[in-house]
C-alpha cells in the first residue's frame, strides 16, 4: 500500500516517498511530537501476513534499538497503526555503499575508512552478542559528511538464535562460515569474536583490490 504525502500514522506525518527496501516502502516523515524528520519504513503486506517473520522483524528491531553507536542506525520506534506495521529510524541524508561503488573504484584511503567505520559498528553490535546476518553494500549508508551507518538487517543473538531463527545471508556478501548457515558465536551468547565483523566485510575485498589496482596503474 502506497502512502500519500500528508498521511498520518499515529504522530508521524508522511512527507515524501524515499524508495523501497527488502521489508517494504520507505518514507521521509516528521515526528509531530518531537519535531524531527525520520525514516518511516512500512512493512510489506506479505511480510505482515507472516506472523513468524513479523515477530522476528520486530525482535530484530528491538535488538538493534539497544545499540548506541555513531556507526549504527538509530531506531526510534516500532508500532502499528491503521493496519500498517512500521519502524521509525533516524533519517540518513546520503547514499548506500552500493550507489557509491556504482560510480567507480574508490580511492584506497576512502575504501579503508568506510570498511573500518562499518566494522566499528558491527563490533559494537557484537559486544552485545548481536550478529548482523545480512551485511552488504545495500545495508551500509554513507552520510554526506562521510559518516558510515550500518542499517538494521537480519540479526540474531547468541549461537542457538543464529542457527535456529535466521535466514541465510546473501551468498555474495557472506563471510565464509555464514555461507554454511552459521557464525562462530561465543557460547556464552555475550560476545562473538571481533573477527566476525571483519570477516563479514571481506565481501568488500574487491573494493580494496580494485582501488589498489587503479593506484598501481596510475603510478
22: which DSSP letter?
S
Burial of 80 (0-12, 13-18, 19+ CB in 10 A): middle
CB neighbours of 208 closer than 8 A, spacing ≥ 6? 108, 111, 112, 115
The residue behind cell 574508490 is 106
Q: Which helix (H) or strand (E) holds 58?
A: helix 51-65
CB-based contact 152:60 (threshold 8 Å) = yes
List the catalytic residues. Answer: 134
Q: Which helix (H) or strand (E) holds 59?
A: helix 51-65
With left for phi above 0 and alpha for psi between -120 and 50, is residue 86 left, alpha or beta?
beta
Amino acid at each position: 500500500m502506497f502512502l500519500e504525502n500528508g498521511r498520518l500514522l499515529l504522530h508521524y506525518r508522511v512527507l515524501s516517498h524515499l524508495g523501497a527496501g527488502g521489508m517494504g516502502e520507505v518514507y521521509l516523515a516528521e515526528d509531530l511530537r518531537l519535531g524531527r524528520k525520520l525514516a518511516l519504513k512500512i512493512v510489506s503486506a506479505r511480510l505482515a501476513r507472516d506472523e513468524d517473520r513479523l515477530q522476528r522483524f520486530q525482535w530484530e528491531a528491538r535488538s538493534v534499538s539497544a545499540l548506541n553507536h555513531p556507526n549504527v542506525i538509530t531506531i526510534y520506534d516500532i508500532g502499528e497503526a491503521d493496519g500498517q506495521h512500521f519502524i521509525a529510524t533516524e533519517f540518513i541524508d546520503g547514499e548506500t555503499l552500493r550507489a557509491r561503488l556504482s560510480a567507480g573504484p574508490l580511492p584506497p584511503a576512502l575504501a579503508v575508512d568506510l570498511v573500518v567505520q562499518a566494522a566499528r559498528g558491527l563490533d559494537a553490535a557484537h559486544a552485545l552478542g548481536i550478529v548482523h546476518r545480512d551485511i552488504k553494500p545495500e545495508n551500509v549508508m554513507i552520510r554526506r559528511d562521510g559518516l558510515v551507518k550500518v542499517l538494521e538487517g537480519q540479526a540474531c543473538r547468541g549461537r542457538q538464535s543464529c542457527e535456529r531463527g535466521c535466514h541465510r545471508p546473501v551468498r555474495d556478501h557472506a563471510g565464509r562460515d555464514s555461507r554454511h548457515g552459521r557464525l562462530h558465536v561465543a557460547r556464552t551468547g555475550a560476545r562473538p569474536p571481533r573477527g566476525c565483523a571483519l570477516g563479514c566485510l571481506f565481501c568488500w575485498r574487491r573494493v580494496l583490490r580494485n582501488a589498489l589496482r587503479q593506484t598501481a596503474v596510475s603510478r
